[in-house]
């Protein structure tokens, strides 16, 4: 490997995320060889290492050269940065709210405690919020970095220069317009679900009082948590969708398509939950621990819970399918 | 010192503004990056290579140039030539440039 090859490889290291890296490297090599040949010819000297060093020094540091080929050096560029900050604020607020609620529930449901124990729970709650904030920031930054790289620019145009038309105030709201609180509520609720199921799954259960102490009977089985990664994807998709809706303020073809895809994915997950092993953690043993000893009552309760869950999940699928049909219909009629 | 630097920056900016027009105007016949750089320099427009080569790639991405790799003297070279789209745009750019020159001439007279 000669000096030019090493130099080109160094430049390439700074172009890992740039499209057409190999092509840029080949072109750079070809150019440098042309330059070297010409220099050697005009100086009447061989194209030796000294001449190569002189030429490469003039050409510039590899990272500076790479920089000129990178049209988008941002992890999250100005095109979507305001949107990122906007969603980040909502996400951080929702995470804080969700975990604050979880901490309060923990304090209420805990046995009587002294001040130090209370402070310890509150301190842990605060640490949980900070650590969840760091995680949420990282995840969101990753999602937006991917959007920055792969989403078409037309979907995230910065429309600062768009002329504002005062006449828009006199128009009746378009049927595609959405109410601001709807996506905000959806984002907050989704984040609460994300934080509870991922960070505090023990909170999901049936609470009962026994000898003046609160106990929790776990509601969900391992079978449920096996599907949690897919559910997380569906929830994150839901947050992105609602973020897009907040930004555009109305439904567009791309948000409708995105919504349909998200709902289809949700239908798939719910169908898997129905068809797989029961996601309820109720067993005769756990019910007995909960203080129910009558075998008939156990049988009836267990049956009721499992049937009830299947009906609820079935309604979930029905709701999602209705939403899909509505989206398709509106997309066709309002285009 | 500061004045020299400011002047250099302004000159650099002025040149950057005309490189697209200069490159498109000279790519009626195919040239590779280095040969175009020399051609522009011979005509009196010194362009920084770090500006020209990435610019050629951007113009190609915009559909104003076409490129093809050719093997010459045991070395592959990428040749750029103006595209049909670029040919359509060039006269409009020339007209725009003439307008700018005329306005600036009036201003600076």
User: ipTM value of the model?
Assistant: 0.83
CB-based contact, B77 to chain A, within 8 Å? yes
pLDDT category at B33 given cuts 50, 70, 90 is: very high
Are B58 and A71 a contacting pair at CB < 8 A?
Answer: yes
CB B72 within 8 A of CB B62: no
pTM, rounded to two decimals: 0.51
Q: Testing the interface with B: which of A26, A30, A59 to mutate, by most B Cβ within 10 A? A: A30
* Cross-strand bridge partners of residue B72: B75
| H helix intervals, chain A | 3-13, 21-43, 49-59, 62-69, 81-109, 115-150, 181-199, 222-226, 228-248, 253-275, 284-289, 295-333
**Ranges of residues in chain A whose predicted pLDDT is under 70:** 1, 71, 110, 112-113, 152-165, 167-175, 208-211, 282, 284, 286-293, 334-335
Contacts of A23 in chain B (CB under 8 A): 78
Q: Residue A162: what pLDDT?
A: 62
Res. B13 pLDDT band, cuts 50 70 90: confident
Determine whether the interchain pair B49/A26 forms a contact, defined as Cβ–Cβ distance below 8 Å.
no
Cβ atoms of residues A156 and A80 within 8 Å: yes
Domain extent at residue B41: 2-108
Q: In which element (H, E) is residue B98 found?
A: helix B84-108
CB pairs under 8 A between A and B: 42
Cα–Cα distances in Å, from B78 out to A19, A28, A38, A173, B47?
A: 17, 10, 18, 55, 19
Residue A69, min C-alpha distance to chain B (Å): 5
Contact A31 B33 (CB under 8 A): yes
Interchain contact B39–A (C-beta under 8 A): no
Tokens of A228: 């949690």
Q: What is the CATH number of the domain that holds B91?
A: 1.10.10.10
Q: For residues A110 and A102, what is the distance between their CA atoms, to the nearest angstrom? A: 12
Q: What is the pLDDT of residues A243-282, one digit of tens each?
A: 888 888 888 888 888 898 998 888 888 888 877 777 887 6
Counting Cβ atoms within 10 Å, is residue A238 exposed (0-12), middle (13-18) or buried (19+)? buried
Kindly determine whether residue B32 and residue A64, on different chains, have CB atoms separated by under 8 Å.
no
Number of domains in chain B: 1
For residue A53, give how far its alpha carbon lies from the nearest alpha carbon of chain B (Å).
17
DSSP letter for A207, please: E
Q: Could you give the angle at which helices A62-69 and B49-61 cross, rounded to 10 degrees?
A: 30
Whole-number pLDDT of residue A158: 52
pLDDT at residue A313, rounded to an integer: 83
B58 touches chain A (CB under 8 A): yes
pLDDT at B66: 95
CA separation (Å) from A185 to A188, A220, A240, B88? Answer: 5, 25, 13, 51
CB contact under 8 A, B49 and A31: yes
DSSP run (H or E) holding A48 = none
């Amino acid at each position: 490997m000669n000096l030019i090859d090493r130099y080109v490889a160094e430049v390439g290291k700074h172009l890992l995320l740039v499209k057409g890296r190999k092509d840029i490297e080949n072109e750079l090599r070809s150019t440098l060889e042309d330059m070297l040949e010409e220099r050697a010819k005009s100086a009447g000297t061989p194209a030796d290492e000294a001449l190569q060093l002189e030429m490469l020094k003039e050409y510039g540091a590899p990272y500076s050269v790479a920089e000129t080929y990178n049209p988008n050096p941002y992890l999250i560029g100005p095109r979507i940065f305001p949107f990122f900050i906007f969603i980040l604020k909502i996400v951080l607020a929702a995470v804080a709210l969700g975990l604050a609620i979880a901490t309060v529930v923990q304090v209420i449901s805990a046995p009587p405690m002294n001040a130090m124990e209370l402070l310890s729970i509150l301190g842990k709650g605060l640490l949980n919020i900070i650590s969840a904030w760091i995680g949420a920031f990282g995840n969101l930054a990753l999602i937006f970095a991917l959007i920055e790289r792969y989403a078409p620019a037309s979907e995230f145009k910065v429309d600062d220069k768009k002329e504002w038309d005062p006449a828009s105030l006199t128009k009746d709201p378009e049927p595609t317009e959405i109410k601001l609180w709807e996506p905000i509520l959806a984002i907050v609720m989704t984040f609460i679900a994300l934080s509870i199921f991922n960070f505090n799954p023990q909170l999901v259960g049936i609470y009962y009082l026994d000898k003046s102490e609160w106990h929790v009977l776990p509601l969900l089985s391992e079978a449920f948590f096996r599907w949690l990664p897919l559910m997380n994807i569906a929830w994150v998709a839901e947050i992105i969708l609602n973020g897009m809706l907040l930004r555009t303020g109305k439904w567009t073809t791309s948000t409708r398509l995105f919504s349909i895809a998200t709902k289809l994915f949700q239908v798939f997950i719910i169908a898997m939950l129905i068809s797989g092993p029961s996601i309820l953690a109720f067993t005769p043993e756990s019910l007995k621990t909960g203080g129910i000893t009558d075998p008939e009552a156990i049988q009836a309760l267990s049956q009721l819970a499992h049937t009830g869950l299947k009906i609820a999940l079935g309604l979930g699928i029905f709701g999602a399918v209705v939403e899909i049909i509505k989206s398709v219909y509106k997309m066709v009629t309002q285009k | 010192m500061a004045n020299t630097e400011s002047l250099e920056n302004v000159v650099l900016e002025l040149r950057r503004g005309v490189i697209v027009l200069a490159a498109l105007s000279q790519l009626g016949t195919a040239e590779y990056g280095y040969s175009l750089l020399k051609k522009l320099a011979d005509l009196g427009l010194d362009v920084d290579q770090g500006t020209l080569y990435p610019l050629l790639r951007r113009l190609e991405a915009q559909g104003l140039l076409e490129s093809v790799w050719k093997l010459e003297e045991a070395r592959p070279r990428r040749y750029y030539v103006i595209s049909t789209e670029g040919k359509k745009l060039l006269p409009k750019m020339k007209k725009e440039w003439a307008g700018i020159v005329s306005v600036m001439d009036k201003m600076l007279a």
